[in-house]
Structure 1
Amino acid sequence: MELQLLKGVGPKTEEIFRRLGIHSAEELLFYFPTDYLLYPPLRAVSELREGEREAVYASLLGDARLFRGNGLVTLTVSAGDLSGRLFLRWFHSPFLKKRLRAGESFVFYGRVSRFRGRLFMEQPKLFSREEYKKMQGVPEPVYPKSAGLSGQTIRKAVRAALLHFSEDPSLLHAFDFIPETLRRRRDLPGLYESLSAVHCPGSEEEALLARERFSYEELLLFSLALLRRKRERSGERSRFLLTEREEAERFLYSLPFSLTEGQREAIREIEGELSGGFVMNRLLQGDVGSGKTVVAFYALFLAASSGFQAAMMAPTELLARQHYEKLREILEKLSLPWEAALLTGSLSRGEKRELCRRIEEGELRLILGTHALFQEGIHYPALSLVVTDEQQRFGVLQRKALSEKGSRPHILLLSATPIPRTLSLLLYQDMQVSRIPGRPAERLPVKNALIGAGERGKAWRFLAGECRKGRQAYIICPMIEDNGEPELQNVSEYQRKLRAFLPEGFRIEGLHGRMRAEEKERIMESFLRREIDILVSTTVVEVGVDVPNASVILIENAERFGLAQLHQLRGRVGRSALQSYCILLDCKNSKKSRERLSVLVRSNDGFWIAEEDLRLRGPGELFGIRQSGALQFRFADIYRDKELWKEASRDAAEILEEDPGLSEKRNEKLRKRLFGFEEAGEVL
């Protein structure tokens, strides 16, 4: 059905939907909400909780006042009830001024903050008391933001589409790919019923049931894809036998430290597969700083020793260059006859052409780089091994493109994202998994501290003390610029405040994701060369560049980050024998946030943290849907839906056991949907 036939969808709205890839009313129904808004019970002003989204019924204590300046239009007014007073502020909403008159009463809904001892709500929604009563307990879907499309416009269009198909839900039959016998056995609601519940839930329970149906769909497809891939790969012969170990072992003997038992075991497992005659498809999982790169380098040397080529892909040019320089240093030290090459996007056309020629003629055995490794025009005549560092940073199609440059090369993926063992068995059921527990003995454990906003000055003085010793520091902020929420720290303003607080002479620089790639690389290289004392950054530093001299990281608004991301950020320090420190600054200071953040204070073990994260999240959360690396599930959550995933995995195995090619009539729609899922590169 054409979009323009829906009530309220005109040519302009239809064009915006088309730009989003939505061309029909059917496709519109699969444009799912990313979250839901649940309006909470009303509270008195004195009961409002800082950092939470709250609702309060209050009377205006004066007319709203309008201010213009610095490119902002600000509307402010105070309101109160018998228990206290609240200050309200809107940006770029002058039209509200006429409604906000002294003595009028409204329900105000928004996030509560405190500034200079006063309670604030910024950009609150306002309702009459009667309107608010009707909305309580009914989840309001929140759709992805898109220029020119408001949430209200999307909700109206979706409701019109649901109304159209309510007359004949069978019109959606082609989109319902779960076999009917399986749907009945799992007691899953029908497709139209689920679409109605996900877009217009009458209660939180309805939304949860619909979410479970679509989560199951995603997990079933993913499990089928993994199991099909495992069947294809199992027993696949390899033309690359990597058996020459002499130079690789010389590399290990040259190391100035002893390998951990975890590293030794991983090397034994990888070596066994590379020399076994079958294609390796292995994930090397290790905590930040556990020594995965040494194991990866050993695999590269095995390939080169055996007369073949090997490539290692990193997510940033700086990290690729760091690997390249380490590898080149080892080759020179051991007087090995091979040459390592660095292939990145910043090379000139002539340099790239010459490098590609040498790769194609087999002159170069060890090639390191970024995504430039798999661009068109590069041919590897003997690519035996592909190593992908920080594999979660690459799209699946990028990893696949590089692996297809060779004739079924061995695959080794490196990941510092800790995942509980029970989930790892599901997530990587088509791969072999090696784990490196712990860290090298010469590295001291990071010391952790959890503080409140009132202790920021103390933290700054500590950072300054470390820098005076010749060390360096990171400060992480969640925002780039001021977004109107005073409790959220931003890189731009933070640098100014820090310079005003510290004595002159400290070299402070900012870094964020809106900078050009060349500018980011330049700043990180300056930090690596110790030309910057304190780097104020967003989370762009999360990817594992090794700066051994950095000894302290201060993470502002730690309550806004997930535990896994905080652990990755903490991994930027503690990369040498220096004592290192991680300071988590909790601006929310609620009981729940302190309980969650205290997990990081108690331990530096990423796998234990992952288990605790799973425990704290609970089994039935509706909000805060977590994405997992390149999987990008819209509904499923690998932590929350562990049991559902087990069921989907069992069902997938049963389906393929009965119908390996999915050629039977009952599996026709499932086959088409699965092939589309695989072609889109959802699983490697």
Structure 2
Amino acid sequence: MDYNDSIDKIKGVGEKTKKAFERIGIETVQDLLEHYPRGYEEFTMPIPISQVREGEMATIEASLTMSPRLKRVRHLQILNVRVRDNSGSLLITWFNMPFLMKKLGMGSRYLFRGKVKRGSSGLVMEQPQIYYNKNDYFKLLKVLRPIYPLTEGITNNLIIKSMEQVHNNLEFAKDYIPRKICKEYSLMDRTKALKEIHFPKDKTSMQKARERLAFDEFFLYSLAIRRMRVTKSDQLTDYPMEERLECEELIKTLPYRLTKAQLSAWDEIKKDMTSNFAMNRLIQGDVGSGKTILAVLALLMAVKNGYQACIMVPTEVLAKQHYKSIYDLLSNFGVSVGLLTGSMTAKEKREAYELIKEHKLDIIVGTHALIQEKVVYDKLGLVITDEQHRFGVKQREELMTKGKKPHVLVMSATPIPRTLAIILYGDLDISIINQLPARRLPIKNCVVNTSYRPNAYRFIEKQVALGRQAYVICPMVEENEQIEAENVIDYTQQLKEALSPDICVEYLHGKMKPKEKNDIMERFAEGEIQVLVSTTVVEVGVNVPNATVMMVENSERFGLAQLHQLRGRVGRGEHQSYCIFVCGSESKVAKERLEILNKSNDGFYIAEEDLKLRGPGDLFGVRQSGDLDFKIGNIYTDAAILKLAAEAAKSLSDEEVDKIFRENPYLEDKILYQRSSTL
């Protein structure tokens, strides 16, 4: 078996399963090996029923005190049984598993393993696994069983069995890190690391394996950044510019005054663009700090110097919003603005290509469509990428090559500590906007448990009655038996029943077709939808100033940076805004993390505090969406590894770096870090 073999070379993977694997980005054997666990299940000794605790996974040994009873509630078949041991009794419930009635007998003892919840009549264990033979269970004690990200048609057992086949038929793994680096940094052998991450002997081995694989990702990323820096270093620009009075006129016509931080960043941008060298600058500003107006000023300056300019954003909804706002701001300055997105018809795209080629459009706003081969620019003097963390190194590079050494401005609202930002954006100069506009009212926050929901619903109703709108965020699209969390589809129905029938409630998630998503967001932006139940697809730059409530369910399941991004969707207008973080966990650590958000609206402070609180020991904690999308590394919890990998990449000569890419041509594809879910 070879790394490049198709996934259907594995026994048991047919055409249907192959397509299911492809939905989660697994097409080859190597893709499968790099589909890392999101956590591990650890089996422990059974405990007495009297010791089980709400919210915890437990194993009990007990016998039935009553025959199983089956009842139907709507589309569910609910099987209930009460079990007992010497210390007490417990209710057990299964959903849609009626066949268990014939497998469970009075008088027999079984091992039950599952999550314990609080029901209306006390503690209940839901959907537990049953072990009919004690020995089968005791073989699993102290074993770390991997738990993988799944999709419909792919089970955890299927991935484990497929992974076992691969490991049994592969002798060694590709390793692109030079031996001297592995030795100097005491890295585990990559072949061993890939085995230990999937089938660890113990926690220590798993942690060492994870450190090695995270190092690999950060090392490769650092090499890619280094190559970009080398190719751009001291590049004389083909697009010399002069300061333009139109930019100062635009600033004077704004209905607000720019902050000192904005003016400082604008001075740096002007200095870059009027020098003889190509600008390569990152504007890093907190949510709502006013980065977009700086982009508009840079666009205007480029256009008034006779050049084209473009701005690339990650979603069509955001592209349309930017297009409208840029058009409105610059329409009085004789600037033509165009839009280019993937969902446009073939005819619309052809017309756009022609206008771009002939320079009949000065500014082009778009998504990834901007970097397609068919797009030919005329004197592309400035390229801007917004929400930088959503684009890979390669994508940013591809947009740059559309012009001849153009000026480059990238923007990010992800609050990354400066020490890490210097590594992650090592090819860029950094400007930080650390002030919010004076007109912005601070968002009022609260952290509550699930019992607060009825109060939250009444509060949302009051805000809607005042003419406002609300977001409700759920971590999942639809129900999943393996993960206990609120899902968008069921929650929307629940909310429709809980709120006044006069309130329009709709849902939004990443699996919807682009046209459907755009329609929902446009209706929400126009105020036709009062409450939007959504996954995190709304975190990227959606601007609805009338939205004043952000309610996040299962907030403990999100990284703080992502929660801060979500919170930034409200507080964008003149009205007081509120954020309600609903915590579904009794964990002390989860509550401590959320209290950081409760006390501060400063994204940079939040990032620093989150890093201190979580530390390097949180191996498989909640990932920070909004990070650069590494498969296993986490720029917050693995900050120390990131720094070491960057140091290692820096220590190599140019010849050594060239040799790595020459001997491992597949790395060119790996540096295209794309997010796994398209928004």
Normalising to structure 2: TM-score of the pair?
Answer: 0.89
Distance 1:368 1:45, change over 3 A: same
**Residue pair 2:389, 2:626 contacting (<8 A) in 1 also:** yes
The equivalent residue for 1:140 is 145
The equivalent residue for 1:206 is 205
Q: Of the candidates 97, 105, 108, which is equivalent to residue 101 of structure 1?
A: 105
Distance 1:131 1:612, change over 3 A: farther
Task: Give the deviation of 1:18 after TM superposition.
Answer: 6.7
Task: Give the deviation of 1:106 after TM superposition.
Answer: 3.0
Q: Which moved more, 1:615-624 or 1:432-441?
A: 615-624
CA distance in 1, matches of 2:593, 2:393: 31
The equivalent residue for 1:609 is 606
**Residue pair 2:629, 2:673 contacting (<8 A) in 1 also:** no
**Residue pair 2:558, 2:624 contacting (<8 A) in 1 also:** no
The equivalent residue for 2:487 is 490
CA distance in 1, matches of 2:297, 2:487: 42
Any residues of structure 2 matched to 1:428-507 within 5 Å, and which? 428-483=425-480, 488-507=485-504
Gaps in structure 1 of 5+ consecutive residues: 166-170
The equivalent residue for 1:368 is 365
Any residues of structure 2 matched to 1:52-91 within 5 Å, and which? 52-67=56-71, 72-91=76-95
Amino acid at match of 2:249: R
Amino acid at match of 1:76: N
Distance 1:661 1:501, change over 3 A: closer
The equivalent residue for 1:228 is 227
**Residue pair 2:54, 2:118 contacting (<8 A) in 1 also:** yes
Q: Does the alignment pair 1:422 with 2:422?
A: no
CA distance in 1, matches of 2:435, 2:508: 31
CA distance in 2, matches of 1:510, 1:157: 36
Q: Which moved more, 1:418-427 or 1:112-121?
A: 112-121
**Residue pair 2:477, 2:488 contacting (<8 A) in 1 also:** yes
Distance 1:568 1:206, change over 3 A: same
Q: Which moved more, 1:304-313 or 1:556-565?
A: 556-565
Q: Which moved more, 1:552-561 or 1:48-57?
A: 48-57
CA distance in 1, matches of 2:464, 2:517: 22
CA distance in 1, matches of 2:48, 2:151: 35
Distance 1:586 1:133, change over 3 A: same
CA distance in 2, matches of 1:399, 1:9: 35
Q: Which moved more, 1:238-247 or 1:366-375?
A: 366-375
CA distance in 1, matches of 2:606, 2:175: 38
Task: Give the deviation of 1:15 after TM superposition.
Answer: 6.3
The equivalent residue for 2:663 is 672
CA distance in 2, matches of 1:237, 1:509: 51
Q: Does the alignment pair 1:354 with 2:351?
A: yes
Q: Of the candidates 466, 491, 515, which is equivalent to residue 518 of structure 1?
A: 515
**Residue pair 2:221, 2:671 contacting (<8 A) in 1 also:** no
CA distance in 2, matches of 1:486, 1:196: 26
Distance 1:80 1:425, change over 3 A: farther
Q: Secondary structure at the match of 1:175?
A: coil
CA distance in 1, matches of 2:470, 2:15: 48
Amino acid at match of 1:310: A
Distance 1:158 1:548, change over 3 A: closer
Gaps in structure 2 of 5+ consecutive residues: 675-679
Distance 1:46 1:443, change over 3 A: farther
Task: Give the deviation of 1:148 after TM superposition.
Answer: 5.8
Any residues of structure 2 matched to 1:166-245 within 5 Å, and which? 171-172=171-172, 175-245=174-244
Task: Give the deviation of 1:627 after TM superposition.
Answer: 6.3
CA distance in 2, matches of 1:394, 1:117: 50
The equivalent residue for 2:123 is 119
Task: Give the deviation of 1:157 after TM superposition.
Answer: 4.8
Amino acid at match of 1:209: K
Amino acid at match of 1:119: L
Task: Give the deviation of 1:315 after TM superposition.
Answer: 2.5
Q: Deviations over 1:63-105 (max 9, x none)?
A: 3344567555544322233444333333444454443222333
CA distance in 2, matches of 1:154, 1:391: 33
Distance 1:89 1:338, change over 3 A: same
Task: Give the deviation of 1:405 after TM superposition.
Answer: 2.2
**Residue pair 2:619, 2:637 contacting (<8 A) in 1 also:** no
The equivalent residue for 2:549 is 552
CA distance in 2, matches of 1:586, 1:374: 41
Q: Secondary structure at the match of 2:118?
A: strand
Distance 1:164 1:505, change over 3 A: closer
The equivalent residue for 1:13 is 13
Q: Which moved more, 1:17-26 or 1:647-656?
A: 17-26
**Residue pair 2:220, 2:671 contacting (<8 A) in 1 also:** no
CA distance in 1, matches of 2:482, 2:273: 54
CA distance in 2, matches of 1:628, 1:98: 45
Amino acid at match of 2:176: F
Aligned-pair identity (%)? 43
Q: Secondary structure at the match of 2:502?
A: coil
Q: Secondary structure at the match of 1:56?
A: strand
CA distance in 2, matches of 1:485, 1:2: 32
CA distance in 2, matches of 1:353, 1:295: 30
Q: Secondary structure at the match of 2:139?
A: helix
Any residues of structure 2 matched to 1:512-591 within 5 Å, and which? 512-591=509-588
Task: Give the deviation of 1:307 after TM superposition.
Answer: 0.7
Distance 1:250 1:83, change over 3 A: farther
**Residue pair 2:616, 2:637 contacting (<8 A) in 1 also:** yes
Task: Give the deviation of 1:449 after TM superposition.
Answer: 0.9
Amino acid at match of 1:241: P
Task: Give the deviation of 1:487 after TM superposition.
Answer: 6.6
**Residue pair 1:34, 1:634 contacting (<8 A) in 2 also:** no
Q: Secondary structure at the match of 2:653?
A: helix
CA distance in 1, matches of 2:355, 2:181: 55
**Residue pair 1:507, 1:532 contacting (<8 A) in 2 also:** yes
Q: Deviations over 1:185-226 (max 9, x none)?
A: 322333443333223222111111111222222222222222
**Residue pair 2:557, 2:622 contacting (<8 A) in 1 also:** no
Amino acid at match of 2:214: S
Amino acid at match of 1:551: T
Distance 1:301 1:24, change over 3 A: closer
Distance 1:94 1:609, change over 3 A: same
Q: Does the alignment pair 1:623 with 2:620?
A: yes
Residues matched between the structures, number: 666
CA distance in 1, matches of 2:221, 2:488: 39
Task: Give the deviation of 1:637 after TM superposition.
Answer: 2.0
Distance 1:133 1:518, change over 3 A: same
